[in-house]
Every structure is written in structure tokens, then in C-alpha cells.
Amino acid sequence: MDRTQAILDQHLEASAVGVLDAFRRYGYLAADLDPMGRLLPETEPLAELAAGTETSPETAAARRWYCGSIGLEFMHIIDPARRRFLAERMEREPQAPDRRRLLELLVRGETFEQVIQQRYLGSKRFSIEGVTSLLPLLDGLLETAAEQDAEQAVLAMPHRGRLSVMAITVGRPAAELFAGFEDVDPKSILGSGDVKYHMGATGEHVAKNGRTVRLHLVSNPSHLEAVDSVAMGRARAKLDRVGDRTGKKVLGIVMHGDAAFAGQGVLAETLNMTELEAYRVGGTIQVVVNNLIGFTTEPKNFQSSRFATDIAKRLPIPIFHVNAEDPDAVARVARIACEYRYAFASDVVIDLIGYRRHGHSEVDDPTITQPTLYKKIAAFAPTWKNYARQLAASAGLPETEAEGMAAAYRAELYEAQKQAEELEKKPTLRTMPPYWSAFTGGPYKREYEVPTAVSAERLGVLAEGLTRAPEGFHVHEKIKKLLEQRLEMGRGTRPIDYGMAEALAFASLVTSGVPVRLSGQDCRRGTFNQRHSVLIDVENGRDHLPLAAMEPGQARFEVYDSLLSEAAVLGFEYGYSRDFPEALVMWEAQFGDFANGAQIILDQFVTAGEDKWGLLSGLVLLLPHGYEGQGPEHSSARIERYLQLAAEDNIQVCQPSTAGQYFHLLRRQALRRWRKPLIVFTPKSMLRHKDSSSSLAELSDGGFQNVVPDRRIQNARRILLCSGKIGHELLRERERRGDTQTAVVFLDQLYPFPARELEAIFAAHPDARDVVWVQEEPANMGALFFVQPRIERLLRRPIRSVKRSASGSPATGSATAHTLEQKTLITMAFGIG
């Protein structure tokens, strides 16, 4: 150990603020990070703390370590072992990288971009030039991960450099990527598909140590950062598949633009997931591909901090800043960052700072908004040329060699371009994992239906398991009562409520090999005190999950209270469902209306994923819904939104009217091979209401009914069609009135629209003069706009409707006004005709 090493070790242990400590803390501010000189070194803190030591050897060493092309923020990490790990690596002489390999990657990246530029002038490609070092960075991460025995990497990234990453990192044949520019086979994707720089891709990285790391680049919408937690969910599912909770086998690498990283809230939500048991993946490598510009906007207008990455400082994780024009430093950061991730199962941020050679896209002229910067960039040589020059001077690698590499790759790309012109079918860029082969998407077919009933005897056994606590476990008095009641429900001596119906559905699934995963705010207990999936020992606070302790060899049951986020959590669960199609994966909103916090995930992934990318998901959304006088915010889960997004059988939109229907719906979703997102509007006050409870026979017989007919009324004069709680209120009113002429029919499935079942209803009531749609929601909301034309098409005549008046907000803030409105609705429904 040399003298400087001894000093630094001392400093790491001691609390005294010395020179080295000052550099460890503030060196990153004075580091040389921006090749275009926009981010000026901030020397104040160091000048103050290291005053008088400028000429000392310690200061010179510290400056070399912390103020070169790498700036590291790590002193905010509390764990000394982590700080020591990082200091030790930063203060060690770096190993020489494989410079030829770095050069080759840079040459390939920039040549690839240039060839597209020449051949497809005027097309957008969102060039990587200026931050081409992303390619050696990814290579370094994957090489290090392979040394740590990684088997797969999940990559997510926005537009910038995506095509280069697909070609050079993921290894897709260039012809496939050029096919996107040739727009091969447009007829096959009329009205569907996606642009080339959003597509997902699979490939592999064959590492120097002989290991192969499978790569999955996640399909991505334009909405920046929306993919972040989707990628994490995918990584978690892949880890769960192989039973790895350490995160070693699957590495997540998520790339970001700097403006997006600083600006988009979902990124902050996603970062907050990293240490949470529900969402942990052993650490994600967050790479900011930082060109210090966002479209035309400069950092001073998109971030209130020096670095875009400052948002990540809330976490105890290292943030590396590295100058993209120093490929050796980039390679070093890749190694340290990945080793750190593997040592501590922690997120790591790498802020790769370069520039953007062209406009935001190549059809955009940046000289209008950043004229002086772009003059400078135009005079600045491409990264590979600078690096080749440097290597010629320092490493004896002749510049002609780099030229040769470029020429050879260019020739290869010209050849690929010719192949692309000849392609007849649009290439898919990916191979689906084998676990998808048992499942299917596309239009609904009746042949997908499966039995969902469970024998009464079996339900009794499951109920016993569900209500059992371990020996010596102290169950809360109220819960003891609940468990007794649930046992009675399972034995058929008490009507089954939603909570028990759901528990029985889960129990029947996990004991037949189907894993169940649910996350959402407070969903372990349930917002409405209805689920109680976890028993808590009142003496010691210990947990017991009956559903996870049903039978030996059962499938996994997981239920998690989520962080207070909608977008990141829904994104995560969507991602999870993408890599675990055999499981029942669910997200529950606290109240259904909060789901609009995740609107991007709904619009861009859940409802459009199959159309854009051909990717399926069986994700379930549980959205509490119903007008109960709680005010504008807790009444409506916005049924209208989902129905507007429904087309091509892309989703299922259901509102089960009874506990039994809910049971069959959940089981149907898990057991059919048809994989489609399922939106379920779940009850609140009806959770325990006798009217929506079911008998044991309803679970042990039959299946989910898309339309629930009225079995008590024959050949009605009036048919009230509805969905959800209002139907039960209509039934009560009918009873009160002693009405024998009105049938109340529930549409428990709104989409795919149950036309066949409704036709049967109309045929059963041939004399029904009035067919009325009744809903609680205002005229501009709810299912009215969607069902009315469809019902009229079936009936070949207009129908009438009862609803609240059109309104800017879903419901009144007054409970009394609500009651009055509700009464009026019911009276009007029976007054028609």
C-alpha cells in the first residue's frame, strides 16, 4: 500500500474533513464533464475546503481521481462499506480497457448513423452521434454482468440512439432495421404497428468469458419515462420465474434523456421502488444519455438543479457523471457501476454527458435555436475520430485501422440495405419466450372458455385453509369473527361476500398451480376493510398469509401494499404480466378514479400494446366504483374512459354484480388461454351487501355470465338494462312497488359487448315495449354512449336512458343531494313507459 492509499484509508475511517474528503464530497462539481464546455466546473467548494493545499501531492492525486472525466457523487450514501467500495475503486489506478473494442463500437455506431443519413435522407432516426459512447458503456455493463453470471438483461430506452443500440448492442441484423425505413409490407399493419424507433427487440450479448446474456429491449411509447417501471416489472417477473430474489440473473438497464429524467414525475416514482420488497430487482442501472438539451430547450429552462440526475440523490445510491468524449473513462464507469450493483443490489446512476450532433431529429434544424453551440459542434470531430487520433498518439494503433473498420462496416451496411429492399415481410425483431406459446390474443373466440366452477366440497376445504392461523398466533378479535364468518361461508351456511369470493378464487388458483400477485395502495387489508389477506399477530405484529400457506407445493401468492403511486405501480404490474402470463397479476386502485394518474400506462401499454407491438398481457385492474354520496372524487372509476379505449377485443371491461360473478371472472381470467387485460369495476358499499352476496352453489356451478338475466320476471313489459350497484337498487325498488312487469338485466361485461346474450334477453321478453338503459353516471359519462348504439342496432329501434344530467365533474359534493338524485333516477326508471 503506498502513502496516498494509507492517507485515504485514514480519511475514509475518520470523520475529520480533510482535503481528500473535500474532493470525495465535491470533486464531481469541478470534474471535466462536458465536451462542449457548457457545464462549467464549479470550483468554489473545493477552493474553500482545500485552500492552502493546492500544491500538495495528496491534492494532486485527489484532483486526478475526482476531477477528471469522471465525477462521482457518493458521499451522501450512509453505509460506509458502500462509500469505501467506491472510493477504493476511484482511487485505484484504472486498468487499461480493451481500446480496440471501444474504438470498434464507436466506429460502428457512427457509421451506422451515417449510412442511414445518406440512404434515407429526411427520415427521423434520433441519432446517437455525440453520445455514441453509450455503445461502449452498454458493452462494458454487459461484460461485467456476464462476469457476475447474469443470464438476461432487460433494456429500456427512449428514441435517442435506439436504432444503433438495436443494431450494435442487441445485434439485430441491419437489414431488419433498414426495413423500417423502406416501410416494407405496409398493408400487413394497416391501422396498427408502431414507428421503428419504438419497437422492442431481442438478441444476445456473447461475452468475452464465453457467457451469453439474453437481451430484451422493451417496446416503448413516445411518452418519455413511461417505460421505466414496465422494464422493472419485466425484470422482476423474469427473476421470479427462476426463483432469484437477489437480482443476479437478470440485470435491468434503463436509459433516459436528461430533460426527461429531470422532468417526468414517473421517474421519481420508479426510483422510489428500488428498495421496496414488492418491486425489488436487485438494482437497476439508470443511464442518462445526456446531451444537455431537450428538443430545443436548454437545461436552465428544464431543471432547477446543476445536474438532471439530482432527483436520484434522494436515494442512497452512487451517481457517476462521465464525459462521453473519454471512452476509457466511460468503460471504467461501466465496470465500477456494474460491480457496485452486483455487490450491493443497488440502483446506480450513470450520467453520460455528451452533445447532440444534429437537431432533435434529423429533420430539425438546431441552428435556429442554438446557433453558437451548433457552430461549435459542426467544427467538432466525431467521437471515433478523436479517439482514433488519441490512440494513434498514445497506444500505437494507426488511424488507418479505424478508417479500415469504418469502411468494412459501411460495406456490410450497404449490403444489408440491399437485402432490406428485397424483404417482403416486415421483420419482427424479436423472439417470444417459450412461456408465451400456450397463450393467445386476437379476437375473442368462444372456444377459449373453460370451466370455472369449483365443487362445494373443495370450496369447504379451501375455506378451512383460508381461515386457519398457525398454532399460537394471536388473531385480532374483529378478524377472528371475520374468519369464523368466512368459514361459515365456505361451508354454505352463510352467503358469500366479495371478500370471501375473491379469497376463494385466489385459493383455488394457487392450489392448482397458478401464481397470484396483487399490489396496490393498502390492498393487503383492502381500502374498504374487505380483503384481510394478511393476518397480523396482535401480540408481536408478525404476518401470516393464509393464501401462501394453503398446501405444500402450491403456487406463489403475493400481496403488497404499494407506494403511493399509480403510474409507476401500474407500469410495473403491466411489465410483470408481460413476463409471467401463467400468473394472475393484479393492480388495485384505492378508488377507481385514481387510475387516471396512470393514464399513460393505460393508453400507451395496457390498451394499445397488442395493436402496436403484438404484445399480450393478462393484467387485471381492480377499480372501486359506485355512486354512494362520497363526492366528485370517490364515485366514478370512469367507465367511459375504458370503453372509449376498447376496440379490436383489446381489453375486457367488466362489472361483476355479485360475489359469485367476481369469483368466476377472476378464475376465467387466469384459466383461459386468451390473454387480455381485464378492467374490473369493483364495488364499495356492495362488498358486504346481502343483495350482491352469493350462495355456495353459485360458485360451485356455472360460470361467469356476461349478461345476468332476470329469472324472476317472464315476458316483461319493460326491461331496465344496467351495470353494477344501480341494478340492485332497481331490484329493491321493484320489490317495494310490487312490480311484476319490469325485468332488471345486468350487463356484467360491457366489452367485448355481449350482443349474443342480449339478443337472448330480448327474445325472452318479446313484448317488452320499453328498453331503458339506467346508469348512475351523468349523461356524458358511464357506459351510455357505448351501449346505446349497440343495443339499438340489436333492437332496430331507439331506446331511452335514465342518467344524471351531463356534468363537468362526476358527482355532487353533498351526500343529501346525492340521495335525492339517486331517488330521482330510480323513480324515473320505473316511470318510463
Q: How far is the CB of 203 from ligand TPP (least distance, A)?
A: 22
**Of the candidate residues 18, 203, 257, 660, the single one contacting ligand TPP (CB under 6 A):** 257
Site string for ligand TPP, 458-487 (x = CB under 6 A): ------------------------------
Segment contacting ligand TPP by CB under 6 A, of 90-98, 291-299, 466-474, 711-719: 291-299
Residue reference for cell 437489414? 175
Q: How far is the CB of 380 from ligand TPP (least distance, A)?
A: 17
Which lies closer to ligand TPP via its Cβ, residue 222 or residue 431?
Answer: 222
Q: Using the rule CB under 6 A, is 160 a contact of ligand TPP?
A: yes
Which lies closer to ligand TPP via its Cβ, residue 258 or residue 502?
Answer: 258
Q: How far is the CB of 291 from ligand TPP (least distance, A)?
A: 5
Cell of 764: 325472452
Contacts of 288 (CB under 8 A, 6+ apart): 255, 256, 257, 258, 261, 308, 309, 349, 350, 351, 352
Give the whole-angstrom CA distance, residue 480 versus residue 469: 10
Which lies closer to ligand TPP via its Cβ, residue 303 or residue 657?
Answer: 303
User: Of 448, 431, 447, 420, whose CA–CA distance to 614 is shortest?
Assistant: 431
Which lies closer to ligand TPP via its Cβ, residue 259 or residue 616?
Answer: 259
Which lies closer to ligand TPP via its Cβ, residue 157 or residue 646?
Answer: 157
Q: Quick check: 509 and 554 in contact, CB under 8 A?
A: no
Q: Using the rule CB under 6 A, is 296 a contact of ligand TPP?
A: no
Which lies closer to ligand TPP via its Cβ, residue 356 or residue 532?
Answer: 356
Q: How far is the CB of 571 from ligand TPP (least distance, A)?
A: 13
Q: Using the rule CB under 6 A, is 377 a contact of ligand TPP?
A: no
Omega before 752 within 30 of 0, i.e. cis: yes
Question: Could you give the count of Cα atoms lying within 13 Å of 136 in the half-sphere of its Cβ?
Answer: 31
Q: Which residues of 292-323 are buried (b: 16+ CB within 10 A; e: fewer)?
A: bbbeeeebeebbeeebbbebbeebbbbbbbbb
Q: Using the rule CB under 6 A, is 601 a contact of ligand TPP?
A: no
Give the whole-angstrom CA distance, residue 249 versus residue 151: 5
The site for ligand TPP, by CB under 6 A, has a size of 15
Measured from the Cβ of residue 488, the count of other Cβ atoms closer than 10 Å reads 16
Decide: helix, strand or coil at residue 773: strand
Q: Using the rule CB under 6 A, is 295 a contact of ligand TPP?
A: yes
Which lies closer to ligand TPP via its Cβ, residue 440 or residue 599?
Answer: 599
**Of the candidate residues 91, 228, 240, 258, the single one contacting ligand TPP (CB under 6 A):** 258
CA distances from 52 to 8, 18, 24, 678 (A): 19, 12, 18, 67
In the chain, the amino acid numbered 606 is: V
Cell of 405: 473498420
Segment contacting ligand TPP by CB under 6 A, of 14-22, 139-147, 258-266, 312-320: 258-266
What is the DSSP secondary-structure string of 530-580?
----SEE-TTT--EE-GGGSSSTTPPPEEEEEPPS-SHHHHHHHHHHHHS-
Which lies closer to ligand TPP via its Cβ, residue 212 or residue 222?
Answer: 222
Which lies closer to ligand TPP via its Cβ, residue 14 or residue 363?
Answer: 363
Which lies closer to ligand TPP via its Cβ, residue 290 or residue 694?
Answer: 290
Residue positions counted in the chain: 833
Q: How far is the CB of 29 from ligand TPP (least distance, A)?
A: 21
Which lies closer to ligand TPP via its Cβ, residue 109 or residue 499?
Answer: 109
Backbone angles phi, psi at 250, to 5 degrees: -130, 125
For ligand TPP, the binding residues in 341-370 under the rule CB under 6 A are 356, 360
Q: Using the rule CB under 6 A, is 113 a contact of ligand TPP?
A: no
Q: Is 12 exposed, middle or buried (0-12, 13-18, 19+ CB in 10 A)?
A: middle
Which lies closer to ligand TPP via its Cβ, residue 299 or residue 581?
Answer: 299
Q: How far is the CB of 195 from ligand TPP (least distance, A)?
A: 12
Q: How far is the CB of 103 from ligand TPP (least distance, A)?
A: 24
Q: Using the rule CB under 6 A, is 294 a contact of ligand TPP?
A: yes
DSSP state of 7: H
CA distances from 437 to 427, 442, 490, 513, 619 (A): 19, 14, 36, 18, 17
Residue reference for cell 360473478? 661
User: Of 810, 826, 751, whose CA–CA distance to 626 is shortest?
Assistant: 810
Which lies closer to ligand TPP via its Cβ, residue 259 or residue 535?
Answer: 259
Decide: helix, strand or coil at residue 587: strand
Which lies closer to ligand TPP via its Cβ, residue 265 or residue 813?
Answer: 265
Backbone angles phi, psi at 741, to 5 degrees: -105, -10
Q: How far is the CB of 104 from ligand TPP (least distance, A)?
A: 24
Give the whole-angstrom CA distance, residue 39 versus residue 174: 36
Q: How far is the CB of 535 from ligand TPP (least distance, A)?
A: 42
Q: How far is the CB of 258 from ligand TPP (least distance, A)?
A: 4
Q: How far is the CB of 223 from ligand TPP (least distance, A)?
A: 4
**Of the candidate residues 102, 254, 285, 293, the single one contacting ligand TPP (CB under 6 A):** 293
Q: How far is the CB of 363 from ligand TPP (least distance, A)?
A: 13
Q: How far is the CB of 112 from ligand TPP (least distance, A)?
A: 17
Segment contacting ligand TPP by CB under 6 A, of 254-262, 416-424, 443-451, 553-561: 254-262
Q: Using the rule CB under 6 A, is 259 a contact of ligand TPP?
A: yes
Nearest residue by C-beta to ligand TPP? 257
Q: How far is the CB of 221 from ligand TPP (least distance, A)?
A: 8
For ligand TPP, the binding residues in 28-87 under the rule CB under 6 A are none
Which lies closer to ligand TPP via its Cβ, residue 124 or residue 717?
Answer: 124
Please, what is the Cα angle at 252 between 249 and 258, to 5 degrees? Answer: 165
Q: Using the rule CB under 6 A, is 239 a contact of ligand TPP?
A: no
Contacts of 586 (CB under 8 A, 6+ apart): 516, 517, 518, 519, 520, 573, 619, 620, 621, 622
Give the whole-angstrom CA distance, residue 554 versus residue 324: 50
For ligand TPP, the binding residues in 205-234 under the rule CB under 6 A are 222-224
Which lies closer to ligand TPP via its Cβ, residue 295 or residue 473?
Answer: 295
In the chain, the amino acid numbered 332 is: R
Q: Write out the residues near ligand TPP by the rule CB under 6 A.
A: 160, 222-224, 257-260, 289, 291, 293-295, 356, 360
